[in-house]
């Protein structure tokens, strides 16, 4: 298994107006055997990062290290990093077996060894016995499995997946997502998975690196992005959070609705942005951190209900069990648990 370290990786592309920065000093580390999701909106530099790691592009500056060795001078075919692209890019004039075996043939692996490893790879992606099929006989999901088998059969040091599920229908995406996680855990291959889908990233990854405007804005466990976003634009990208202005004073925040106790924060006293998730807000008074509000809307959502509450000059969104019903105009009391309030710097 191989670790990956990117240090201040920068990539500029030329244009008539001058260099355009696609990546801005990206630094991150992926541990051996880890699956990291590289998440972000379109155009933020995710695919460029993968292409730099694979050696398909040269960086403007910075370093790429596999384990303890820089690979900047190592040609792509010798790096041991394999990419699976958004379009599976199978050869239509080859059988499934020949598609999967392509990388092994380029490496001059013996015929018997190729046959054995192709069969193993197809079994691993749940396509045993598909060797003689042609790619135009396969469904979209099966083609993507063949692309995964072609990547895995060469036993790469790093597996780089570039939006591999984006062209599939939702049900098939969910099925293949689970398969990719299972394959990654079985093989132990260090993996970077590029996606623009927040739910997909948190569902598959050991950790998530969020990219915006060519830089990594936050890296951590999936739950950190929901509970402890580093800044307001991270919170807004993931959505769902209540965000409101406050002034920090020690372990208290002062808001237009009153003062609330919070857990200790490393932010200095002064203006901050406070956040709390809708499901963290509780109905009814519960000692400190209680405020009064008026129900503006209540929506049944099956397994939960959504309630919009007017508080002072603003609103709070609350997710609750469906059996807690409210009507517009109802006066209610809310409790904001101190341990669920998270503070961010002002923008």
Evaluate whether residue 103 is within a structural domain. yes
pLDDT of residue 209: 98
pLDDT of residue 285: 82
Evaluate whether residue 36 is within a structural domain. yes
pLDDT of residue 87: 67
Evaluate whether residue 235 is within a structural domain. no
pLDDT of residue 85: 83
Evaluate whether residue 136 is within a structural domain. yes
Evaluate whether residue 335 is within a structural domain. yes
Evaluate whether residue 18 is within a structural domain. yes
CA atoms 189, 194, 197, 198: torsion sign = positive
Contacts of 107 (CB under 8 A, 6+ apart): 154
CB hemisphere CA count around 10 (13 angstroms)? 10
Shared domain check, 103 and 32: yes
pLDDT of residue 266: 92
Shared domain check, 283 and 195: no
pTM listed for this prediction = 0.88
Evaluate whether residue 232 is within a structural domain. no
Q: Among residues 189, 206, 227, which one ends one of the domains?
A: 227
Position of tokens 């292409």? 51
Shared domain check, 209 and 244: no
Q: Among residues 162, 197, 227, which one ends one of the domains?
A: 227
pLDDT of residue 318: 95
pLDDT of residue 337: 95
Identify which of 174, 183, 121, 181 has the alpha carbon closest to the alpha carbon of residue 146.
Answer: 121
Each residue's pLDDT tens digit in the chain (347 positions)?
A: 899 999 999 999 998 888 999 999 999 999 999 999 999 999 999 999 999 999 999 999 999 999 999 999 999 989 999 998 876 678 888 899 999 999 888 888 898 999 899 998 899 888 898 888 998 888 888 888 899 899 988 989 999 999 988 877 888 888 888 888 988 998 899 999 999 999 999 999 999 999 999 999 999 999 999 999 999 999 999 988 999 999 999 999 999 999 999 999 999 999 999 999 999 999 988 778 999 999 999 999 998 999 999 998 889 999 988 888 889 999 999 999 999 999 999 98
Identify which of 5, 70, 21 has the alpha carbon closest to the alpha carbon of residue 212.
Answer: 21
Shared domain check, 76 and 106: yes
Q: Residue 14 belongs to a domain with what CATH number? A: 3.40.50.300
Using CB atoms within 10 Å of the CB of residue 275, give its burial: 0 to 12 exposed, 13 to 18 middle, 19+ buried.
buried
Shared domain check, 180 and 52: yes
Q: Among residues 204, 227, 250, which one ends one of the domains?
A: 227
Evaluate whether residue 233 is within a structural domain. no
* Domains of the chain: total: 2
Shared domain check, 209 and 245: no
């Amino acid at each position: 298994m191989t670790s990956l370290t990117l240090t201040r990786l920068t990539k500029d592309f030329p244009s008539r107006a001058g260099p355009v920065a696609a990546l801005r000093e990206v630094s991150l580390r992926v541990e051996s055997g880890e699956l990291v999701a590289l998440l972000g909106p379109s155009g933020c530099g995710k695919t460029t990062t993968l292409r730099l790691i694979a050696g398909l592009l040269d960086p403007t500056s910075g370093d790429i290290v596999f384990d303890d060795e820089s690979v900047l001078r190592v040609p792509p075919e010798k790096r041991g990093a394999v990419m699976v692209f958004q379009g599976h890019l199978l050869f239509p004039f080859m059988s499934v077996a020949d598609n999967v075996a392509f990388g092994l043939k380029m490496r001059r692996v013996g015929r018997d060894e190729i046959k054995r490893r192709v069969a193993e790879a197809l079994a691993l992606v749940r396509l045993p016995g598909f060797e003689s099929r042609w790619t135009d006989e396969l469904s979209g999901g099966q083609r993507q499995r063949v692309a995964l088998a072609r990547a895995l059969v060469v036993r790469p040091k790093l597996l780089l997946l570039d939006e591999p599920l984006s062209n599939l229908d939702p049900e098939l995406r969910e099925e293949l997502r689970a398969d990719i996680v299972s394959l990654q855990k079985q093989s132990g291959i260090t993996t970077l998975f590029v996606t623009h889908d927040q739910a997909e990233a948190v569902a598959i990854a050991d950790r998530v690196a969020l990219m915006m405007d060519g830089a990594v804005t936050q890296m951590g466990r999936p739950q950190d992005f929901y509970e402890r976003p580093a800044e307001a634009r991270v919170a807004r990208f993931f959505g769902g959070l209540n965000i409101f202005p406050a002034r920090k004073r020690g372990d208290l925040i002062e808001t237009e609705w009153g003062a609330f106790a919070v857990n200790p924060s490393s932010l200095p006293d002064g203006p901050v942005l406070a956040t709390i998730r809708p499901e963290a807000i509780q109905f009814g008074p519960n000692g400190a951190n209680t405020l009064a509000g008026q129900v503006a809307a209540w929506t049944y959502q099956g397994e939960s209900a959504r309630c919009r509450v007017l508080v002072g000059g603003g609103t709070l969104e609350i997710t609750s069990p469906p059996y807690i019903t409210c009507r517009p105009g109802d006066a209610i009391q809310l409790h904001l648990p101190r341990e669920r309030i998270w503070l961010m710097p002002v923008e």
